Amino acid sequence: MSGLLLDERGVMKPRQLPPHLRGRPFSVEEALAAGETPGRLRSRDLATPYHGARAPAEARTTLERCRAFAPLLREGQALSHSTAAELWELPVPPGPRQAATIHVTATLGREPRRPGIIGHREKNLPITIAHGLPIVEPIHAFIQCAALLPLDDLVAMGDALVGRWSSFDEACQQPRARVEEAVRDFTGGRGSRRLSAAMALVRVGCWSPQETALRLLLQRAGLPEPELNSACCDGLGRFLGRPDIVYRWARVAVEYEGDHHRTDADVFQQDIERRERFADAGWRTIRVTKADLYSRPEEVVARVKRALGRRVSN
């Protein structure tokens, strides 16, 4: 059976696939079993994301790559490591995320080995379903990432787990004690020391990776432990706002200003009004941009130290 047909204008076009294969990734094995020919599976209307798989379009995102590989997943295999973390909407640094590879862990048999796939083996893997795909549970994905990520990126991921960054209930506002227990149980595994060091730095209250980076910068400079996104009021009990970093005893607030603070008119207006409320109540607000945080960190520390010093001296 040919994979091509003539349309009403006499132009050759690929023959339609069976209904159950249309509009989704599928395995070559599944298509051949449905009566498709190797020639049809080589048609230009089908992408080949992985050897042995076909899809209606090229996979461009991590989720699309995972769905394209899903027909090739075997029993006991699940998406894992930084791939799982990203699918759970936990922060993953650009390098691992942009690489056109996905991590898959097998509990039975050999790990998958093919271009675009990084295979692992692990017993007693806690697997659930998200995005319609088998995926390692969020806390275990965090633990697996200890072998892949540097310390500060692990801290940001831990902050996210005990915070409210993810839209998945399973991946946010996790009890710190539960995460700590899982980290303790991992003692001796690859990256376990780095994971324990990261857990010691995890805090409840950070709302973004940049806030985590800013907090770590100030803590490592020897500044006191701050409050994080804590409600602040004036002397009459009127609400002022929730700064990213709060030194309440000195009435100093430190805010990380992402680019949306500049480009979103409503956010920009709210920032002005909030800063004026804090100023009227006698607070000093220090605004930190991406360039400040990553190109001039020493200046950020110096600015905060000066602000705290003035409050103490006054």
Strand (E) or helix (H) holding 58? none
How do strand 284-288 and strand 252-256 relate by DSSP bridges? parallel
Q: How many domains does the chain have?
A: 3
Given this model, what pLDDT does residue 271 score? 76
Assigned token pair, 284:
């000093």
Phi and psi angles of residue 12, each rounded to the nearest 5 degrees, phi first = -70, 130
Pair 213, 197 in one domain? no
Pair 308, 223 in one domain? yes
Pair 116, 146 in one domain? yes
Q: Tell me the C-alpha to C-alpha distance, in Å, between residue 155 and each of 83, 105, 204.
A: 17, 23, 11
Pair 112, 179 in one domain? yes
Pair 31, 116 in one domain? no
CA distance 112 to 75: 12
Given this model, what pLDDT does residue 265 score? 67
Pair 193, 215 in one domain? no
CB 68 within 8 Å of CB 59? yes
Pair 160, 269 in one domain? no
Q: Which of 170, 201, 232 is the last residue of a domain?
A: 201
Q: Dihedral, CA atoms, 94, 98, 104, 105, nearest 10 degrees? A: -20
User: How would DSSP label each residue in 112-132?
Assistant: P-BTTEEEEE-SS--EEEETT
Pair 195, 237 in one domain? no
Pair 224, 260 in one domain? yes
- Terminal alpha carbon distance of the chain: 88
Q: Which of 37, 54, 71 is the last residue of a domain?
A: 54
Range of the domain at 27: 4-54
Pair 152, 188 in one domain? yes
What CATH number does residue 266 fall under?
A: 3.40.960.10
CA distance 176 to 206: 13
- Residues 105-129 as b or e (16 or more Cβ within 10 Å = b): bbeeeeebeeeebbebeeeebebee
pLDDT digits (tens, 9 = 90+) for 182-238: 999 998 788 999 999 999 999 999 999 999 999 999 999 999 999 999 999 998 999
Size (the chain), residues: 314
Pair 286, 241 in one domain? yes
pLDDT digits (tens, 9 = 90+) for 10-36: 445 677 899 999 999 999 999 999 999
Given this model, what pLDDT does residue 6 score? 45
Q: Which of 201, 221, 243 is the last residue of a domain?
A: 201
Given this model, what pLDDT does residue 88 score? 98
Given this model, what pLDDT does residue 297 score? 97
Residue 155's SS3 state is helix
CB 135 within 8 Å of CB 129? yes
Given this model, what pLDDT does residue 9 score? 55
Given this model, what pLDDT does residue 23 score? 93
CA distance 251 to 254: 10
Pair 189, 241 in one domain? no
Q: What parts of the chain have a pLDDT lower than 70?
A: 1-13, 95-99, 259-267, 311-314
